[in-house]
Amino acid sequence: MKIEHCLRSVKDPEIPSVSVMDLGMIEEINVSDDSIVHIKALPTFLGCPALEIIKKNMIDAVSAIDAVSDVNVEFIYHPPWTSDRVTDDGKEKLKQFGIAPPPEFDAQNHEWKVECPYCGSHYTTMENLFGPTACRSILYCKSCKNPFEAMKPISNLM
Amino acid sequence: MGQLNVNENQEYKQLVIELLYQLADDDFILAFRGSEWLGLAPHIEEDIAYASINQDTMGHAVMYYELLEALGEGPADLLAHGRKAEHRKNAILLEMANGTGTYLENPKYDWAFAVVRHYFYDIYKKLKLESLKQSSYEPLAQAATKMKMEQYYHIMHWKVWFNQLCLSGGEAKTRMHAAIQQVWNEFAGVLTYGKHSLQMSQYGLIEEESLFKKRWEEEMRRVFEDVAISYPGDPKMQKGNGREGVHTDDLIQALATLSEVYHLDPQATW
């Protein structure tokens, strides 16, 4: 529990309001007899340049616990990270940062309904499928006239 | 399936390695060609989108090189930057320059060629990943599952460009037709699994090459139908087979450029 608490302080370097726990990136935490912590984490996008920084920050945070002798972080690909792993708490924090949480993926219609993180309206349009980072898109709210970003839905159905 | 273990079956291991080099080198060189458009794309939104697509694709190449590293082929950075052209397994289509000039001097790049090459490659890659998701080599199957999710957005993006430019009139249409011909002249080089094709499918690494090509052709016929262009027939491989290490000066120049910093200090940690 203490380890999880520490990991809540490790934020996404590009979205400082959400932690690796909020994003659902942590798959497994094991502590071996010699007090070595083994963490298995899932990358959101494979080409994400923040992965190495996140890994280092996780090691630093967990190493700060007195009883821990060493920390070992491994990125794994099974199960794959999908956007439904973002916790409810994480979704709220994304909104606070001005990013709409990942909408549900509709495999039939290829359509997403994205709620504006500022005013809650559904009257929004896609400006660019791709945004400032691999995991985000750029949208525009026609109700409150604000541009905003949304996390892309990522699903096993794709 | 006990014999399908890379530590116990040398033939199987060599086939996994061969397939991984093809996949890695394809993604790597196309991501490099794509990055050469940075700042030169038709508009700012496209610059952002294209950069993101290249970043994903380069991430996929890294993934494959890391799988090779795990099989004892050497460090991923070295595999990406340090191998000579004749050892590369990428298809020639993917190494071809974006146009005339260089990134720094008079880059006269052809956007029609960029759209067609990326769209067709990304469709091919989606189908290939579908097959690799069933691969007998588990680490590859897992990587393919993850990559395919990202691939979804790439295809959505290129489809918009491809359909709109093909369905418009004037210069756009003429240039798209020319680009399709150019890409088609080499696309057989992308489709081939190389000379160990049969063993690869016998070991369950990937579906049989002839079945894959059939599935690909069905998909491409739909792509051409969408834009009312008749199917151009079987693709060719005019410049040679990259899977056998045959390459052009375009690759030699690309490697010299992309590995310039790496060769200043190969020991450096990035």
Residues B48, B230: Cα–Cα separation, whole Å: 33
Instruction: Report the residue of chain A nearest B52, measured CA to CA.
Output: A134
Which chain A residues have a beta carbon less than 8 Å from that of B27?
A: none
Residues A100 and A70 in one domain: no
Averaged pLDDT, A13-17: 90
Closest CA to A19 of A54, A65, A51: A54
- Give residue B4's pLDDT band: very low, low, confident or very high (50, 70, 90): confident
Domain count, chain A: 2
The answer to whether residues B203 and B191 touch, using CB atoms and an 8 Å cutoff, is no
Chain A residues within 8 Å of chain B (Cβ atoms): 45-49, 77-78, 80-82, 110, 127-134, 138, 152, 154-156, 158
Residues A71 and A103 in one domain: no
Tokens of B226: 């969408």
Residues B134, B54: Cα–Cα separation, whole Å: 26
| Mean pLDDT, chain B, whole residue set | 96
Chain B residues within 8 Å of chain A (Cβ atoms): 45, 48-49, 51-53, 55-60, 62-63, 139, 142-143, 145-153, 156-157
Q: Following DSSP, what letter does each residue of B135-180 receive, concatenated?
A: -SSHHHHHHHHHHHHHHHHHHHHHHHHHHHHHHS-HHHHHHHHHHH
Q: Residue B270 above 70 pLDDT?
A: no
Residue A41 belongs to domain with CATH number = 3.30.300.130
Q: Residue A156 above 70 pLDDT?
A: yes
> pLDDT for A102-132, tens place per residue?
988 777 777 778 999 999 999 999 999 999 8
Distance of CA B90 to CAs A46, B80, B94, B137, B224, Å? 21, 12, 7, 21, 25
Q: Residue B2 above 60 pLDDT?
A: no
- Flag whether A122 is in a domain: yes
Residues A24, A85: Cα–Cα separation, whole Å: 5
> pLDDT for B125-136, tens place per residue?
999 999 999 999
Q: What 8-state DSSP symbol labels residue B244? A: G
- Flag whether A80 is in a domain: no
C-alpha atoms less than 13 angstroms from C-alpha of A74 in its C-beta half-sphere: 11
Q: Give the residue numbers spanning the domain of A58.
A: 2-75
Residues A99 and A140 in one domain: yes
- Flag whether A62 is in a domain: yes
> pLDDT for B62-71, tens place per residue?
999 999 999 9
Q: Is A129–B156 a contact, with Cβ atoms under 8 angstroms apart? A: yes
Contact residues for B9 (Cβ-Cβ < 8 A; gap 6+): B3
Looking up tokens 């006269």 gives B108
- Give residue B84's pLDDT band: very low, low, confident or very high (50, 70, 90): very high
- Residue in A48, A49, A155 nearest the CB of B149: A155
> pLDDT for A49-77, tens place per residue?
889 999 999 999 999 999 999 999 999 99
- Flag whether A124 is in a domain: yes
DSSP three-state, residue B56: helix
The answer to whether residues B80 and A72 touch, using CB atoms and an 8 Å cutoff, is no
Residues A49 and A6 in one domain: yes
- Give residue B3's pLDDT band: very low, low, confident or very high (50, 70, 90): low
Residues B67, A46: Cα–Cα separation, whole Å: 13
- Flag whether A157 is in a domain: no
Residues counted in chain A: 158
- What is the ipTM for the molecules in this complex? 0.86
- Residue in A77, A129, A152 nearest the CB of B146: A77
Q: Please report the pLDDT score of residue B76 as a whole number.
A: 95
Q: What is the 3-state secondary structure (H, E, C) of chain A?
A: CHHHHHHCCCEECCEEEEECCCCCCEEEEEECCCCEEEEEECCCCCCCCCHHHHHHHHHHHHHCCCCCCEEEEEECCCCCCCHHHCCHHHHHHHHHCCEECCCCCCCCCCCCCCCCCCCCCCCEEEEECCCCCCCEEEEEECCCCCEEEEECCCCCCC
- Flag whether A90 is in a domain: no
Residues A101, A137: Cα–Cα separation, whole Å: 11
Q: Please report the pLDDT score of residue B111 as a whole number.
A: 98
- H/E stretch holding B211: helix B209-226
Q: Name the residue ranges covered by the structural domains of chain B.
A: 10-264
Closest CA to A93 of A7, A4, A12, A5: A12
DSSP three-state, residue B94: helix
Q: Please report the pLDDT score of residue B132 as a whole number.
A: 98
What architecture (CATH level 2) is domain B10-264? Up-down Bundle (1.20)
